[in-house]
Amino acid sequence: MTLRDTAGDAVLDRIRRRPTDRRRILFTGATIVTMDPGLGTIDRGDLLVEGDTITAVGRGLGADDAVTVDAAGTILTPGFVDTHRHAWQAQLRRIMPDVDDLGGYVRSTLAGHATVYRPEDMYTGTRLAALTAIDSGITTMLDFSHNSRTREHSDAAVRALRDTGIRGVHASMGPHFGAWDRQWPGDLTRLKSEYFSSDDQLLTLRLAALATDEIAGPALAYGPELARTARDLGIGVSVDAVFGTASSEAVLRWAGDGILGPGVTLIHSTGLTPQAWKAMGETGTTVALAPTSDAQIGLETAVPAVDEALSVGIRPGLSIDVEVALAGDMFTQMRTLHAIQRMRAVNAAYGTDRQPSRITTRDVLDFATLQGAHTNGLASVTGSLTPGKKADLLVIQAEDLNNMPLNDPIGTVVLGSDARNISTVLINGEPRKWNGQVLDVDLTALRREARASRDHVLRSHP
């Protein structure tokens, strides 16, 4: 069975007929890329899911009353983890594919289109982004939701994540420009109470902020006051637009104030000084790279800061950033980072006796899975196929035309595969994509809603 035929549909029916807490799914005969350092890659392996949790990985597993899925000819991997995406913009995808610089994006999207968004536009964009993420194998997505004009805008973004079934991180921030209710960051208390009261749920909450006041003023810039808000709520912090001299100075201030650490993620981190990187490494601060954004839009040096992160002991997560100008899948991020870093390494050693220090396909898959989970504060929950973690996993067809024959499974995932090869996506043990199709989505209705929302935004844009 290829998981792409009528037999695969029958298996799905059997799975879904069972209550989630009594559900057992046994995948057999797959190449399992666990991304767990202690388990490695298992050839012709089996993986057992019970309820929402991975309970066993190995060979020759048996499970009474389990629905058995013949996964021969496939690769099982953890779901990808996106550490930073502005999901509300999805109905404006590729509207400015050749944007020349950050200023062009800010003027068009943040100072323009964002100002006319209604709550229903937030819902449509966020839902579209999350469903597309699932289709391309992203099982966890941090939505850096920086268009929270009213509490209703925030509610719509959270509902969109919930309705798709993705493992979502709602990182809330007020908008850069235009009229808004100034309810943020105070509204975070209500959001946590209404939507994030349990620690054992698909959705989690973070505070989002900017690195400096250069773009939108001091109210949105990270500092002791916002750090105190996050600490009082017990939530993490994601800081965007971290690049250049001003951000380097800010990083050193934060270190002096004691507000860096593992619960803080700095996004981009291009063009930072060695002193700033030293402070980040010493405090265990996490980093979210945006490989295509840094390179294509040209943020500071335009070079994704993977070498700088690794030099201070930080293994970064990866992110998509803005679909108005960029691709929305993790395969593109992995390949872009892999190519740029290796090009940079060889170029630096060219004409000398030094050996280039190159990252590997395993490195970038680690960044896209386990390190992404760590960056989002979810390493104990997802990011590897480790027994005890939640069942967020992908089934990738290794015998499809573009992948066969299977020689190196990690190389095949990183360099050969794309969304069409993902036959199955499980999130928290629940099938969200099966037989190559995202489940429970009326594409005709979604297409109509996305077009209507886009047309409203473009028509209303001042």
Number of structural domains found in the chain: 2
Tell me, yes or no, whether 203 lies in a domain: yes
Residue-level pLDDT at 17: 93
Tokens 């063009």 correspond to: 271
Of 348, 375, 402, the last residue of a domain is 375
| 70 and 32, same domain (yes or no) | yes
Residue-level pLDDT at 3: 52
The whole-model pTM stands at 0.97
Residues 402-434: pLDDT tens digits? 999 999 999 999 999 999 999 999 999 999 999
Region of 28 (left: φ > 0; alpha: ψ -120 to 50; beta: rest) is beta
| 173 and 206, same domain (yes or no) | yes
The size of the chain, in residues, is 462
| 34 and 119, same domain (yes or no) | no
CATH number of the domain that 163 lies in? 3.20.20.140
Tell me, yes or no, whether 66 lies in a domain: yes
| 87 and 73, same domain (yes or no) | no
pLDDT band at 21 (very low <50, low <70, confident <90, very high): confident
| 64 and 203, same domain (yes or no) | no
- Report the greatest alpha carbon distance in the chain: 64
Instruction: State the Cα–Cα distance between residues 382 and 370, nearest whole angstrom.
Output: 7
Q: Is a pLDDT exceeding 80 seen at residue 7?
A: no
Instruction: State the Cα–Cα distance between residues 296 and 410, nearest whole angstrom.
Output: 26
Residue-level pLDDT at 6: 53
Segments of 146-213 assigned E as strands = 167-172, 204-210
| 158 and 36, same domain (yes or no) | no
> Which of 198, 193, 202 has its CA nearest to residue 164?
202
Rounded mean pLDDT of 376-394? 98
Tell me, yes or no, whether 448 lies in a domain: no
Tell me, yes or no, whether 459 lies in a domain: no
**Distance of alpha carbon 237 from its chain centroid, rounded?**
15
CATH number of the domain that 403 lies in? 2.30.40.10
Q: Which domain holds residue 299?
A: 80-375
Tell me, yes or no, whether 367 lies in a domain: yes
Instruction: State the Cα–Cα distance between residues 274 and 290, nearest whole angstrom.
Output: 20
Rounded mean pLDDT of 11-35? 94
Residues 213-247: pLDDT tens digits? 988 789 999 999 999 999 999 999 999 999 999 99
Tell me, yes or no, whether 111 lies in a domain: yes
| 67 and 137, same domain (yes or no) | no
Rounded mean pLDDT of 68-82? 97
| 151 and 130, same domain (yes or no) | yes
Tell me, yes or no, whether 462 lies in a domain: no
Cis omega (within 30 of 0) for bond into 185: yes
Tell me, yes or no, whether 18 lies in a domain: yes
- Is residue 98 helix, strand or coil? coil
Instruction: State the Cα–Cα distance between residues 320 and 67, nearest whole angstrom.
Output: 35
| 159 and 211, same domain (yes or no) | yes
pLDDT band at 367 (very low <50, low <70, confident <90, very high): very high
DSSP 361-401: HHHHHHHHTHHHHHHTT-TTTSSS--TTSB--EEEEETTST
| 298 and 367, same domain (yes or no) | yes
| 34 and 152, same domain (yes or no) | no
Q: Is a pLDDT exceeding 90 seen at residue 462?
A: no
Residues 313-326: pLDDT tens digits? 999 999 999 999 99
Radius of gyration of the chain (CA): 21
Percent of all residues in the chain with a pLDDT value above 90, rounded to a whole number: 93
Judge contact between 84 and 129, C-beta under 8 A. no
Question: For residue 318, what are the β-bridge partners?
Answer: 82, 289
pLDDT band at 2 (very low <50, low <70, confident <90, very high): very low
| 24 and 112, same domain (yes or no) | no
